């Protein structure tokens, strides 16, 4: 196991109705004015935004609110929100929504206190030196941004849409409120995209070259098994509170790094997928459902036993010790069929992508990344081959 630091000081408030406590939670932080950021309106239609604002008002906390964050969030709105937040002299940012809203809030919280272009941080040109605190009221279990140190924003630079991530301690929320009831209004497709994303967050950590990491292997497997068991219940019985609750906490554990400490992590599939989101505006989870099995097929030969272990422990495939490749392949089949059962796409055609765009995807990939993958260090030729598997896979 590798040496590691683990410091994730987010306070979690989990359960039905907990968003009504946001006012008292913020009051304890001694902030003067809160910037409430939300998305395209689902939280307005459900009444959540009004409840959050009421709770802040009841505690006498000043706030301003601004919506309009779109999935695969854009830098343009971040710039607008930075200006507005400065004008309003806010000193805390509260995200009410999913990964796109939270990541926008994270970028705003860093950008407000910086004199330059906030996107420099996402292009790794500079490192942030200060940031406002952020809080979260989560509405979709998926990106794990409520507990992660990352934010992902896209921006058009010289005619190319770059989707870039920033990992920094400033991105870790001060608190996150998780009410599973709020996720009952999610369309089945969004629920399924979230399930794929959280599984991908665990799998990016699972496929590692670090030896002797049985504690995190088993943690990863526990989270994955629980998701595989619970996701069909959430899809077929969307009002099931207990199933929603288990999926919601799984989404946080999948990406707060409890599954990833002490081991090398891969992250090639996220890099490959982010270019699909950038080029086609596809939902991140849907892109991952297409890309993850393709990456697995391509890299399996690097360590068939690890893939066989995944197949056997997560999907119950019986282990063929004579020929672990056979078990490994059966695991990839099981993963694809699980994604399909959730209504997820499995190839380029099903997400409106084209094999002819692979050169464009590769260009975007290497504009936003210096290297791709750690389990296997992928060359541009490797990435091209993986995109081709994803493009040509026949269901």
Q: Could you say which residues in the range 337-376 bind Zn ion, by CB under 5 A?
A: none
Pick from 197, 204, 221, 297 the residue near Zn ion by CB under 5 A.
Answer: 197
Nearer to ligand NZQ, 200 or 328 (CB): 200
Contact map string, positions 218 to 257, toward ligand NZQ, x by CB under 6 A: -------------------------------------x--
By a kind-dependent CB cut-off of 5 to 8 A, residue 49 interacts, out of Zn ion, ligand NZQ, none, with: none
Cα torsion 171, 91, 25, 99 to 10°: value is -40
CB neighbours (10 Å) of residue 393?
A: 17
Nearer to ligand NZQ, 178 or 311 (CB): 178
According to the binding rule CB under 6 A, does residue 150 interact with ligand NZQ?
Answer: yes
CA 95 – CA 135 distance, rounded (Å): 6
According to the binding rule CB under 6 A, does residue 139 interact with ligand NZQ?
Answer: yes
CA 216 – CA 218 distance, rounded (Å): 5
CB 293 within 8 A of CB 350: no
According to the binding rule CB under 6 A, does residue 183 interact with ligand NZQ?
Answer: yes
Residue ranges of alpha helices (H) inside the chain are: 22-27, 42-45, 48-58, 75-87, 99-111, 119-122, 188-206, 214-236, 241-255, 268-280, 284-299, 304-315, 324-341, 358-368, 380-392
CB neighbours (10 Å) of residue 47?
A: 10
Pick from 43, 95, 344, 353 the residue near ligand NZQ by CB under 6 A.
Answer: 43
Nearer to ligand NZQ, 150 or 275 (CB): 150
According to the binding rule CB under 5 A, does residue 146 interact with Zn ion?
Answer: no
According to the binding rule CB under 6 A, does residue 151 interact with ligand NZQ?
Answer: yes
- Give residue for tokens 């009421």: 54
Nearer to Zn ion, 19 or 197 (CB): 197
According to the binding rule CB under 5 A, does residue 273 interact with Zn ion?
Answer: no
CB 199 within 8 A of CB 296: no
Instruction: Note the residues at the interface with ligand NZQ (CB under 6 A).
Output: 39-43, 71-73, 97-101, 103, 139-140, 142-145, 148, 150-152, 182-183, 185-186, 190, 193-194, 197, 255, 270, 277, 284
């Amino acid at each position: 196991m590798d040496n590691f630091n683990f410091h994730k000081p987010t306070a979690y408030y989990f359960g039905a109705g907990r968003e009504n406590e946001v006012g008292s939670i913020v009051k304890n932080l001694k902030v003067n004015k809160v910037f409430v950021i939300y998305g395209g309106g689902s939280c307005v239609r459900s009444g959540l935004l009004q409840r959050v604002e009421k709770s802040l008002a009841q505690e006498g906390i000043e706030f301003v609110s601004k919506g309009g964050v779109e999935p695969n969030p854009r830098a343009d709105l971040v710039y607008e929100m930075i200006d507005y937040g400065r004008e309003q002299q806010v000193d805390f940012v509260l995200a009410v929504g999913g990964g796109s809203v939270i990541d926008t809030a994270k970028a705003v919280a860093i950008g407000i206190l910086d004199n330059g272009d906030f996107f420099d941080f996402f292009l790794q040109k500079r490192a942030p030196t200060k940031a406002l605190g952020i809080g979260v009221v989560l509405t979709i279990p998926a990106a794990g941004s409520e507990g992660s140190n990352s934010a992902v924003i896209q921006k058009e630079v010289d005619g190319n849409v770059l989707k870039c991530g920033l990992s920094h301690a400033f991105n870790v929320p001060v608190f996150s409120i998780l009410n599973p009831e709020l996720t009952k209004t999610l369309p089945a497709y969004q629920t399924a995209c979230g399930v794929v994303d959280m599984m991908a967050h665990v799998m990016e950590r699972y496929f590692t070259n670090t030896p002797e990491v049985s504690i995190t292997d088993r943690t990863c497997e526990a989270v994955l098994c629980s998701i595989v068991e619970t996701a069909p219940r959430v899809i077929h019985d969307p009002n099931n509170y207990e199933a929603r609750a288990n999926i919601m906490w799984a989404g946080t554990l999948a990406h707060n790094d409890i599954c990833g400490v002490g081991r090398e992590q891969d992250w090639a599939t996220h890099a490959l997928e982010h270019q699909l989101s950038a080029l086609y505006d596809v939902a991140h989870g849907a892109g991952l459902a297409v890309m993850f099995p393709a990456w697995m097929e391509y890299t399996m030969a690097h360590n068939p036993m690890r893939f066989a272990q995944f197949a056997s422990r997560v999907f119950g495939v019986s282990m063929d010790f004579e020929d672990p490749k056979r078990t490994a392949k059966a695991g990839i089949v099981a993963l694809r069929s699980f994604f399909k059962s959730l209504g997820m796409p499995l190839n380029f055609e099903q997400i409106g992508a084209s094999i002819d765009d692979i050169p464009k995807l590769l260009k975007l990939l290497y504009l936003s990344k210096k290297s791709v993958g750690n389990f296997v260090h992928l060359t541009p030729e490797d990435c091209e081959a993986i995109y081709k598997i994803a493009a040509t896979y026949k269901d």
